[in-house]
Amino acid sequence: MEYVTLNNGIKMPILGYGVYQIPDQEECEKCVLDAIHVGYRSIDTAQAYRNEEAVGRALKKSGIVREEFFITTKVWISNAGYEKAKASIEESMRKLQLDYLDLVLIHQPFNDYYGTYRAMEELYKAGKIKAIGVSNFYPDRYIDLAQFSEVVPAVNQVETHVFNQQVRAQEIMKKYNTQIESWGPFAEGKNDFFTNPTLQEIGTKYNKSTAQVALRFLIQRGVVVIPKTVNKERMEQNFNVFDFELNSEDMEKVTALDTGESLFFSHYDPQTVEFLTDYGKKGLE
C-alpha cells in the first residue's frame, strides 16, 4: 500500500474502499469484510449512506486492531450546525463502535457548514478525530472555508475521474496543502467508461483492466481513490494497482480524456442546489 501524508502529519492510504449505495446492512457488512480480507484498511462511509453500523460490525468481526484502519465518515446536511454536527459525529462513532475517527468530512457545502466545521475542529483538538476536511466543496467555497478556519481542511473529496480530472481544483488545494480525494473514480460507468478505447489500449499494454488503468492514473497524480464494488474479485482487481506504472506517454493519453466538466451535477446549478437542500432538510430518519 502507498500512503499520502496529510497536512497534520497523519498518513492516509492512497487506496481505500467506499460503501456508497450499499444500504443493505447484511450486504454492506459482508462487503466490508471481503474488502478487509483483500487488504483494504481505509473504509469510506457517511451518515447519509445509512450503513455506518454495518461497517462497525465488520471492523469488529475482522479481528484486526483498530490502529491498522483508516475510517472516514461524513456529516450530512440535516446535521449541519455546531450542536447538531457534534452530536451526529458522536452518534457516528457509536454506530461504528469506535472511540475515535480518522477522518470526518462535511458531506455537502450547504446549511450551516461553518458551524459544522467548528464542531469538527473542537473534536479534532480533543483527539476524537485525527483529521478533518470537506467533500464536494468547489474552489470558491473551499477557499472561503480554508481562509476563515483555524484548521485548514486536510482533505477535499470531489468527483474526480478520467473525464473530470479536477486539475485546476487540485492546484488550488495544493496551495493550501489540502489532499484531493476522488469519489466516483470510475465515473459510475458513464461515458462508456469500461469500454473506453484509450483505457483499453493502455490496459492491454500492461495486461490490466480499464478500471486498473484509471485508478493508476489518479494515484500517479497524487489523488486518493476509494473505488466501490460489491464483487470480491473486482475488489482484488482494484487493489492490484501497485505493480505497474504508466509512462509519460500513457499519462498524456489519459490526460487528453479530460472534459473539465461534471458527469453528475453542478453545485452552481440552482436546480441541483434545490434538490440537494430539499433532500437534506428531510433528514436521515
Please name which of 177, 241, 181, 248 lies closest in space to residue 214, comparing C-alpha atoms: 241
Q: Residue 9 contacts by C-beta under 8 Å, 6 or more apart in sequence? A: none
**Residue 188: exposure state from Cβ atoms within 10 A (0-12, 13-18, ≥19):** middle
Burial per residue of 25-44, b for 16 or more beta-carbon CB atoms within 10 angstroms, e otherwise = eeebbbbbbbbbebebbbbb
- Provide the grid cell at 18: 467506499
**SS3 for 229?**
coil
Please answer whether residues 17 and 35 qualify as being in contact, where contact means their C-beta atoms are separated by less than 8 angstroms: yes
Q: What is the DSSP string of 65-120?
A: -GGG-EEEEEE-GGG-SHHHHHHHHHHHHHHHT-SSBSEEEESSS-SSHHHHHHHH
Q: Please check whether residue 247 is in contact with residue 216, taking contact to mean a CB–CB distance below 8 angstroms.
A: no
Among 198, 211, 190, 207, smallest CA distance to 251 is for 198
Residue 259 exposed, middle or buried by CB count within 10 Å (0-12, 13-18, 19+): exposed
For helices 82-96 and 52-62, the axis angle rounded to 10 degrees is 40
Cα–Cα distances in angstroms (integers) from residue 32 to residues 67, 73, 158, 213, in the given order? 17, 14, 22, 24
Residues catalogued as catalytic? 49
